[in-house]
Amino acid sequence: MTTSFAAHPSTNISFLSNNVIEFKNSVYESYGQGNERLFLRSREGSVDLDNQVINLIGDVEGTFNLDGKTFDLKTNGLRGNLLDKTISSKQSTLFKTEDIEVVSSDMEITQTPLEGIKILFNDVNLDKINLGSRMNKGKANEVELFLAKDLIVMKGKAVFSEDNMKIISDEIHYDLSQDIVLKSVNSKIINNL
């Protein structure tokens, strides 16, 4: 995803041993091919030049522009590994797109040639699913979001709610662009709530 980056420290830069740079009130920007862009802001952070790791701490906000779509992120701590191109948070995370709003206990973004960009969330509440969708809320132990496929895979105590119906399942596959459940495993449907 990234081909170049720039960190713009606003104040208080300090150099530590082992090629680690600490900063406060900073912005991180990364540009990829085409219109790909990553923008992150935090109260504090550090860059480990040897291991190519960026740690952002405190009021972390980010915007990702990928494949013509915009994604927003809010958390209290974020770690980016420039070598394996992963971004993760071990803290409560809010992730939003025009189609979905996810609140989770943690998050990891990875990219592989086969799957493209995949976002893994744990202990998840889906607070918005497709603006015009029949499905309007959901929750699961784990959610995988595959951006290139517009696919959500919900695992472990997965629940999808609609105005008058609820799907409870071990696993649910939902297509965001088609607004349909593709697959559900060991499901129970409750009508007329």
Indicate whether 69 and 127 sit together in one domain.
Answer: no
- Write the Ramachandran bin of 36: left for phi over 0, alpha for psi from -120 to 50, otherwise beta: beta
Indicate whether 98 and 82 sit together in one domain.
Answer: no
**63 within 8 A of 35, measured Cβ to Cβ:** no
pLDDT value of residue 185: 93
Indicate whether 167 and 85 sit together in one domain.
Answer: no
Q: Model confidence over 57-86: pLDDT tens digits?
A: 999 999 988 777 888 999 999 998 988 889
Indicate whether 185 and 116 sit together in one domain.
Answer: yes
Indicate whether 4 and 80 sit together in one domain.
Answer: yes
Examine the pLDDT at 6 and tell me if it is beyond 80. Answer: no
Indicate whether 50 and 116 sit together in one domain.
Answer: no
Examine the pLDDT at 10 and tell me if it is beyond 50. Answer: no
Indicate whether 1 and 66 sit together in one domain.
Answer: yes
Its pTM stands at 0.83
Full residue range of the structural domain in which residue 52 is found: 1-91
**131 within 8 A of 106, measured Cβ to Cβ:** no
pLDDT tier at 157, thresholds 50, 70, 90: very high
- For the ranges 7-11, 110-114, 126-130, the maximum mean pLDDT occurs at 110-114
Q: Model confidence over 13-43: pLDDT tens digits?
A: 445 557 888 888 988 787 777 777 888 899 9
pLDDT value of residue 123: 96
Residue 157 maps to which CATH number?
2.60.450.10
pLDDT value of residue 191: 87
Indicate whether 34 and 82 sit together in one domain.
Answer: yes
pLDDT value of residue 130: 64
Rg (CA), the chain: 18
The whole-angstrom distance between residue 89's C-alpha and the CA centroid of its chain comes to: 9
Indicate whether 100 and 65 sit together in one domain.
Answer: no
Amino acid symbol at 173: H
Indicate whether 66 and 122 sit together in one domain.
Answer: no
DSSP letters, 108-166, are: EEEEETTTEEEEEEEEEEEEEE-TT-SEEEEEEEEEEEETTTTEEEEEEEEEEEESSEE
Name residues whose C-beta falls within 8 Å of residue 114's C-beta, 6 or more positions apart in sequence: none
Q: Model confidence over 139-149: pLDDT tens digits?
A: 999 999 998 88
pLDDT tier at 128, thresholds 50, 70, 90: confident
Indicate whether 14 and 30 sit together in one domain.
Answer: yes
